[in-house]
Amino acid sequence: MKHIVHIIPENSSSLDFTLPIFWKNSQLEKPKFKFSVIFFYLNKNAVLKHSKFYEQVATDAGVVFYDLTDFLLLPVFLKKSIRELYNYSSTDKIFISEPLNYYKNKSIFWPFLLFKYLTQNYNLKIIVNTIKIKILNEFAKFILFLSFSFKRVTEKLNISTILFDNRGRKNFLASKDFFNTVDNLKIPVVLIPHGAHYRTPESGYCQFLPNKIALPSYCRHWMPFKYGEPWKNNNTPKDQFKLVGYPGMDKDWLSYLKQKKGENKDRLNILYIIRRYVDRTNPMYKYYDYYIVDKKDVFSPLEKLINIIKDENIDANIIIKPHPKNSIEELQNDFKSLNYQNIEISSEPIYKLCLKTDIAISLHSTILFIPILMGIPTIIINNALHEKVVTKWSLLKDVYNNLSFFINDQKDLQKIFSKTINLFLSSKEDSCDNDIEHVYKYYNINSADYVLQDLAELHLNVH
């Protein structure tokens, strides 16, 4: 049986893509492939953040999760010590490059200005975490240089194909060894998306090798969205791009999840899906990635929601679904100001959270399609990011703005929220049918099947 290994160099978003594939493969009378996952960190909790759901589903599907420590040529007791030392989330830190560059360009006294900025905007714990993570990351490079070889990994696991994040970042741990080995051995690589659509029709392309813009012949690129054209901005042949859809939307996978969804008889569970945020009134973030929203875009709707809950005397629990790059430490510190006790910040994936969600509220995010397709009334809040997204790609305006609970003006939040509560209380199972039908106009309904079929064709052609 061919062994396909998913390499995760950054965060869990691409695992949201592959997890339903693992499950679908395991449901076949005769599974087609063996799957494994390698987190390119010294402890897989850098990505998993102690989430139980990912590993539970993977284990049930016969999928093994590894981290780099598993492959170090070191005694067991040293591996255990390394794993304990690196048992933290890779995002519980300050993303310091913007303030650092800003103050360096502004003044020769930049160390003082940077220190002042950090101490005024962050608590001591996250500042210390940032320094610790920076030091330990440098030490990790030294450990891997001495006792890790990706070629040895390929031989030990007998890897036939690699699934790899379609990302621009190429400087992750052991990256040079990884790219050199894959390129020398010409191991088939499939680039997988970390979202359900691109920013623009042609923007989804990322080169695989750091020093080569076009994809090597042993690579192919999986497309999640029917209308993407990522081949247009590079010299890679169009036949190396394959539309498979987004497996998280696979109807069999979603049916499996719905069977696990319990009936909530206690307080109302509201899922709030957020993004990474900064204070965009600060000039240092003027040219920052527009997908990182302003802090008020996250907190203003949440404050309105809490006021509605209090005014209408609703017994509600708010579950925060962070972006994979949100710092949980920072969120916990920021949410203290809301003066609302029933807020839970979760590290579990959207699939797990939907099992206990009654109503979802979301900023612009592609994962909001999952609660919709699970029949959960989902409110989508318009903001500056959403306006920019639909301006850059007008097709996405139809995808999002024509959903039943899209809020163009936040003044309408109370009215729409009351509407969704009434739908929930009336237990109307068909309340999201129009939205489900709308979403499936743009996505394959059996996308996990398309993936397994394409993998079979890939191995047939290669071998």
pLDDT band of 46, cuts 50, 70, 90: very high
Q: Where are the alpha helices (DSSP H) in 148-237?
A: 150-157, 175-185
Strand, coil or helix: what is 391? helix
pLDDT band of 266, cuts 50, 70, 90: confident
Residue 163, amino acid = L
Mean pLDDT value across residues 199-225: 92
Residues in CB range of 325: below 8 A, 6 or more apart: 11, 91, 95, 276
Mean pLDDT value across residues 210-218: 93
Tally of CB atoms within 10 A around 29: 4
Domain residue limits, the chain = 3-72+148-247+446-462, 97-140, 251-439
370-409 burial string, b = 16+ CB within 10 Å, else e? bbbbbbbbbbbbbbebbeebbeebeebeebbeebbbbbee
CATH number of 3-72+148-247+446-462: 3.40.50
pLDDT for the residue 62 = 97
Cα angle 364, 370, 373; round to 5: 120
- What pTM does this model have? 0.94
CATH superfamily, with its number, for domain 251-439:
Glycogen Phosphorylase B; (3.40.50.2000)
pLDDT at 101 over 80: yes
Same fold, 3-72+148-247+446-462 and 251-439: yes
DSSP structure class, residue 377:
-
* Total residues belonging to the chain: 463
Mean pLDDT value across residues 209-217: 93
pLDDT digits (tens, 9 = 90+) for 217-235: 999 999 999 998 999 888 8
Mean pLDDT value across residues 141-150: 97
| Distance in Å from the first CA to the final CA of the chain | 13
Residues in CB range of 184: below 8 A, 6 or more apart: none
pLDDT band of 329, cuts 50, 70, 90: confident
Q: Where are the alpha helices (DSSP H) in 356-431?
A: 369-373, 384-392, 395-401, 413-425
Q: Do 23 and 259 touch, CB atoms closer than 8 A?
A: no
pLDDT at 28 over 60: yes
Place of tokens 């106009």: 441
Cα separation, 110 vs 103, whole angstroms: 5
Tally of CB atoms within 10 A around 10: 20
Mean pLDDT value across residues 98-119: 93
Percent of the chain whose pLDDT exceeds 70: 97
pLDDT for the residue 264 = 65
pLDDT for the residue 92 = 86
Residue 306: phi and psi, rounded to 5, are: -65, -40
Q: Do 273 and 362 touch, CB atoms closer than 8 A?
A: yes
Tally of CB atoms within 10 A around 243: 15
Which structure tokens are listed for 65? 């999760």
pLDDT for the residue 317 = 94
